[in-house]
Amino acid sequence: MNIQKSSADLYAAYKETTQKAADLNNASAVLGWDQEVYMPAKGFEVRGRQLATLASLAHEMLTSEAYGNQLQELAGRGDLADDEKRNVELSLEDYNKNKKLSAAFVEAITQQTSASYNAWIQSRKENKFSIYAPELDKMIQLKKQQASMYGYESNPYDALLDEYEKGASVALLDSVFGDVKQQLPVLLDKIKTAQQVNDSFFLRNYPKQAQWDFSMDVLRAMGYDFEAGRQDMSEHPFTTSFAPTDVRVTTRVDENNYSSLLWSSIHEGGHALYEQGLPIEQYGLPLGAAASLGIHESQSRLWENNVGRGKQFWHHFYPNLQQYFPQQLNDVSIEAFYKGMNKVEPSLIRTEADEVTYHFHVMIRYEIEKGLMNGDLFTEDLPEAWNGLYNKYLCVSAQDDKTGVLQDVHWAHGSFGYFPTYSLGSFYAAQFYQQAAKEMPTLTDDIANGTLLGLREWLRGKVHQYGRRYTSEELCKQITGMGLDFKVFMQYAHEKYAGIYGF
């Protein structure tokens, strides 16, 4: 006799499978964190195998016929709670997408990620793109294959964009970056004709430990829970989460450039607050995951720029910073420090770029990725294409590979389609911060007093708690009453830099 399972039993079975797969993926994430922070150089080959095994096992669990049948049956039940129904809907979407990738492909791309990352590290050490190029080319071919497996209507790059930002497409991003090309140069030209601000004091010697200690103070003030996380050093700053109770950040230090550590630490702290704010009861389920990479970037960029590069923030923190570095900053006023940290000047390094030129860095990577996926650009062309676009948009050119085409780790990880979310995140951040200021009349005073927990709680209530319930656009409309609006970012940027540059 065939006895039909109750919805509660069926949902419990679905939840167990999904969370076990999450356990495997999070075990992989621990190994990935170790690979970028502590692992010895000889460990790469075997680590690639370990990561591939875990990824393959998780993929098999989430693409099995039994799991698909569970989801189909649950989707037809009318007695699920709202959260349960949304988890099932999103998991079924994921299932149908994951089914398009074979276990062998998942294993291959995971192993290639480790090989590409190792080659990237070696290339940066020797400052030679040629060391990285063969492994990068293998990754690019795999990403093209992945786009074909997923399928697309008009552009293969669309299939990869959708992985990071649901609904994103070349058509949408061409429009967004069209606004960037049209409007940002006007602001940049106004800044270029104004008297340049002085930031030379950032290039004094700032001892590593004092930089580190101050960044820890700032992370604590932001509400980052060090009992549920830690900060370490890595070649490229990143955030990784194994659960809301274990979210880790990394940064990097340059003792002769103070701007290298602090704002990357604040940026990663914004990512970490999002992950720590996700509902633990939804661990491993869609409602326990971030809405999108664009929304994730909105959190990091909001903390880094709207807060950490804002004047109010330093009313409280600058006297503390001067106590850490009395010799370096005793002759620098808070006004000079504020202007210096917001200096606008075309440069080579994306992670150290100002808020205005930053989006040209992102757009360059977007155009390169689009060309690679469309077959208009090839791996061996990358250094020349990179410098050509930097000359075109920022009038600068890298003198070596390390400050040029080798500066980002993303392509080694196979993260094609990720870069555009940095700009989308900045634009969402401007809208969210504007809305927070409307709803929190004391926000400016709170930040000036070093009281940042109110903003963290506002973001938890508006963004973090929902997980993947809403798309980026739906969430933005829910918070601000409108979808993505580049004009809000331009208004914010114009007001800020008019005050700094006096135009």
Q: Are residues 130 and 198 in the same domain?
A: no
Instruction: With respect to residue 22, please indicate whether it lies within any of the assigned structural domains.
Output: yes
pLDDT per residue as tens digits for the range 458-496: 999 999 999 999 999 999 999 999 999 999 999 999 999
Query: Does residue 326 lie within any of the structural domains?
Result: yes
* Residue 3 scores a pLDDT above 70: no
Residues 135, 186, single domain; the answer is no
User: Is residue 236's pLDDT more than 90?
Assistant: no
* Residue 44 banded pLDDT, cuts 50, 70, 90: confident
pLDDT level of residue 1 (50, 70, 90 thresholds)? very low
pLDDT (average), residues 115-129: 96
Residue type, 137: D
Look at residue 358 in the predicted model and tell me its pLDDT.
Answer: 96
Q: Are residues 349 and 437 in the same domain?
A: yes
Report CA-CA distances (Å) from 486 to 100, 183, 184: 35, 10, 11
Averaged pLDDT for residues 382-393: 96
> Is 214 a domain residue?
yes
CATH of the domain at 284: 1.10.1370.30
Domain boundary among 101, 117, 151: 151
Residue 58 shares a structural domain with residue 207: no
Which residue, 151, 182, 206, sits at the end of a domain?
151
What Å distances lie between residue 71 and 83, 289, 291, 427, CA to CA?
14, 18, 21, 36
Alpha carbons 498 and 351: distance in angstroms, whole number: 23
pLDDT in tens, 273-302: 999 999 999 999 999 999 999 999 999 999
Residues 329 and 254 in one domain: yes
101 and 194 share one domain:
no
Dist CA 413 CA 108 (whole Å):
13
Is 45 within a domain? yes
Q: Could you tell me if residue 160 is inside a domain?
A: no
**91: nearest Cα among 297, 298, 282, 246:** 282
Is the same domain home to 102 and 216? no
User: Domain for residue 165, yes or no?
Assistant: no
Note the pLDDT tens digit of each residue in 56-102: 999 999 999 999 999 999 999 999 999 999 999 999 999 999 999 99
Residues 405 and 491 in one domain: yes
What whole-number distance in Å separates Cα of residue 107 and Cα of residue 121?
22
Same domain assignment for residues 183 and 138: no
| Residues 147 and 175 occupy one common structural domain | no
Query: Do 356 and 233 share a structural domain?
Result: yes
Contact predicate 484/430, CB 8 Å: no
Place of tokens 């990394």: 250
How many Å apart are CA 430 and CA 410, to the nearest integer? 25
* Predicted pLDDT of residue 133: 98
74, part of any domain: yes
State the DSSP string of 109-145: HHHHHHHHHHHHHHHHHHT-HHHHHHHHHHHHHHHHH
CA 160: distance to chain centroid?
A: 16
Is residue 69 domain-shared with residue 182, that is, in the same domain?
no
Q: pLDDT tens digit string along 179-205?
A: 999 999 999 999 999 999 999 999 999
Give me the number of domains the chain comprises. Answer: 2
- The DSSP code for 403 is T
pLDDT of residue 9: 95
pLDDT reported for residue 47: 92
Q: Which two tokens stand for residue 73?
A: 């049956």
Helix axis angle for 293-301 and 420-439, nearest 10°, is: 60
The token pair that represents 96 in the structure block? 């149908």
The residues annotated with a catalytic role in the active site are 268
φ, ψ of residue 230 to 5 degrees: the values are -160, 165
- Residue 447 sits in which domain range? 170-501
pLDDT of the residue at 2: 54
Mean pLDDT for all residues in the chain: 96
